[in-house]
Amino acid sequence: MSDLNKLTIAEARDLLRAGDVTSVALTEACLAAIEGAGKLNAFVHHTPDIALERSKAADARIEAGDAPAMCGIPVGIKDLFCTVGVPSQAASRILEGFKPEYESTVSAQLRDSGAVMLGKLNMDEFAMGSSNESSVYGNAVNPWKDGARELTPGGSSGGSAAAVAADLCLAATGTDTGGSIRQPAAFTGTVGIKPTYGRCSRWGIVAFASSLDQAGPMTKTVRDAAIMLEAMCGHDPKDSTSADLPVPDFESMLTGDIRGQKIGIPREYRMDGMNAEIVALWDKGAEMLRDAGAEIVDISLPHTKYALPAYYVIAPAEASSNLARYDGVRYGHRAKLGPGDGITQLYEKTRAEGFGPEVQRRVMIGTYVLSAGFYDAYYNRARKVRTLIKRDFEQAFAAGIDAILTPATPSSAFGLGEMAEADPVQMYLNDVFTVTVNLAGLPGISVPAGLDAKGLPLGLQLIGRPWEEGALLRTAHVLESATGFVSKPSKWW
């Protein structure tokens, strides 16, 4: 059987259980695809030995009848997840040479379920970015192209999105702090879900903004997202923000029936100067859900316009605090000191050399808004705005709304280098439809819904009630079926 790397998780699982394919064969197909895709720069640390060892163990489990859904499935792991004995750099120079002696809870749960780690995936440095251009490894490249123009795969989980879209792996882990799963998914024609804050453990994931970060799967289909999310979820006593709730069988909830569901369309997301293709796709998505039996309701989320400014105060403030631990003393990059240099110079030189420009920018913003004279003016005010944004969603759900439909991004993927040197605020605006979900701690999913005039994928976002990922996935599955999106990038790499 050829092109095994092009299978979905669900297809591969069924073939593995039927004995029609082995995990070793699946893994070898993915390793060969990765070997031939160097131009995409998606995988930055290759672990073929680990992959083949785990695939053999998975085959033995399957043969013994002990096969969870993810058993034998080859996946990529974002470089933000700590993995035992494998470089875990968060795409930053300051963590060069760091090989953890422990495994993140999420990657450990995937490993224990029998999933096969192929390697570590590219990303924006410390997950700070929307284009994967702040990575110490160089940028990942979107497998979709606009003529000769190379495009961003989005960020920060750009390597994960590129790898899944190019069939280098069957699925990948991502993290989402302000849209870092959903925006790359939309840019690459893949599915990405950010679960409710607390659904997946944050333990062992390099922290960016602790009250916003959340891990999630990036997959080829909504069904695959349901299968992988179940393996990633669960209460973790090592993470104080991890929810002690049972993990549902998400796949069994994909019934295809959303009759009677109320889908909210927030009027505040219709912004001046919006891309006409995005608006048309949004309207088409609403029509598809109506045709499936849902009721489409106009709603108001009045504090939406304050979400981006609030996010870009809160996230850098938390980053400033989290990144204070990187000093060159215990691990990672350490600057060379000159005569007479002391501990202060070690800190200053190490951090100046180890952090890239975007990380430095956000650390400085965060330090500024937490400083004595500005704490109330900026940070406390942003926290109050966050509460109001959360209340907007609560009121919408209390009024009977089951899910909210919005665009995932303001445009299709943009060209590499087109925004990186421009006004950083233009880059930040990529998060305009996604940051509210993180501020409110809600689940959100991006589903590929069509192609623009240039033949590039566009995504729609569904936002669900807290802890109701199953219902959100069901609605997303209906939307996915209605759009009939099956387009793949033409292989050029």
Q: List the catalytic residues.
A: 78, 156, 180
| Burial group, residue 487, by CB count within 10 angstroms (0-12, 13-18, 19+) | middle
Distances (CA, A) of 82 to 50, 333, 352, 386: 15, 17, 24, 30
Residues 6+ positions from 223 with CB-CB distance below 8 Å: 8, 9, 10, 251, 254, 477
Nearest to 474 by CA among 287, 303, 248: 248
What is the rounded CA–CA span in Å between residue 157 and residue 164? Answer: 11
- 383 class by beta-carbon count within 10 Å (0-12 exposed, 13-18 middle, 19+ buried): middle
Closest of 156, 142, 26 to residue 79, by C-alpha: 156
Q: Strands, E, within 326-470: which ranges?
A: 403-407, 444-451, 457-464
> Any idea how long the chain is?
493
DSSP three-state, residue 459: strand
The region that residue 19 occupies, defined by phi over 0 for left and psi between -120 and 50 for alpha, beta otherwise, is: left
The token pair that represents 330 in the structure block: 């215990």
